[in-house]
Amino acid sequence: MKFKVNSYHFKLLRDYERLSAFKEAIEDYAIRNDANSNGSNSKVAFDLGCGSGVLSYFASEYMDRIIAIELNNSTYQLAKENLKEFDKIQVFNDDILGFDFSKLNEKADLIICEMLDTALIDEEEVPVLNRARKFLNENGEIIPKGMINSVEAVFMNNHFIQYEDDEYSPVYVSLGESVVYSEFDFMNDIDCNFSAEIELKIYGNEELDDIGFEVNLNEERYEKFNFKENFNIEEDKLKINGIKVTSFTKMNDNIICGPTPMLNPAMLVPIEETEVRCGDTLRLRLEYVMGGGVETIRTEILEIIHKD
């Protein structure tokens, strides 16, 4: 099957890991629910934010009817063209946040919604699912099923929000282990306003030795940013100026997909530059609005707890 796409959707289709995670999760749903597309166990799917239509195409093998909705008009035109041979797929050009699901006169057995973004901040996955979930049949399922978010302290080259995506590799050093700070199940109604107090442990001397921290700083890419000037391990002085947020997508109970270039690439967020010592713990408040965009991200250092 050939898809007509624009450059953004081309990149989404080229991300093989992202596509295979969704394909596998749809197949897994079909096997568990005996969905077979021969009408004996009739099933309806909604593909929300259908883009090029690729996920509707995957689902068409198993589902009897698919409602695909896309906001962007030129993308909708591409999806309509790509899916024109599939009578069972109906494509709408609409904003899901205003879409009248009741006019469909049927609910979904499966909702597929790839409007994901790191920590669910910059795309409308959460508000869209909060609306669409009411139109999911009892025993219905959502792909993906949820998300797990983790964060770690870093020192980064630029003091603005950066993604580790397929176009850009921000330069940073990790200064502590990643901790899970939130987990969402998309079957539940989710408050879009997120706020958490997080404790970030800074590596101790031994841990820095174990990861070869000082040796790694000799790499050329770090020299360009004078990273070494900010660290004096002998005097027990480190600096942090950011956090790295990593999201893991729970496709279903069995499949968890880590960041890929086009599926929730890790995000670096600047925080107030602060001197710390090896083994310290940083208490940080992190707030944002899911679906509200990265401009809603707020961070505040609440306390630095010294190791002794």
Binder of ligand SAM out of 50, 120, 175, 245 (CB under 6 A): 50
Binder of ligand SAM out of 29, 52, 120, 161 (CB under 6 A): 52
- Facing residues of 152 across strands? 244
Token readout for 1 is 């099957």
Q: Say whether residue 97 binds ligand SAM (CB under 6 A).
A: yes
- Facing residues of 66 across strands? 45, 89
> Which stretch, 65-73, 180-188, 220-228, 299-307, contacts ligand SAM (CB under 6 A)?
65-73
Q: Say whether residue 72 binds ligand SAM (CB under 6 A).
A: yes
> Which stretch, 66-74, 191-199, 229-237, 299-307, contacts ligand SAM (CB under 6 A)?
66-74
Interface of this chain with ligand SAM, residues 145 to 204, rule: CB under 6 A = none
- Return all residues near 85 (Cβ < 8 A) that are at least 6 apart: none
3-state secondary structure 176-196: ECCEEEEEEECCCCCCCEEEE
Interface of this chain with ligand SAM, residues 108 to 127, rule: CB under 6 A = 114-115, 124
Q: Judging by DSSP bridges, how do beta strands 179-185 and 256-257 pair with one another?
A: unpaired
CA dist 6 → 51, 77, 167 (Å):
10, 11, 17
Q: Say whether residue 82 binds ligand SAM (CB under 6 A).
A: no
Rounded least distance, CB 43 to ligand SAM, Å? 19
Q: Which helix (H) or strand (E) holds 216?
A: helix 213-216
Binding site for ligand SAM (CB under 6 A): 12, 49-52, 54-55, 69-72, 75, 95-97, 114-115, 124, 128
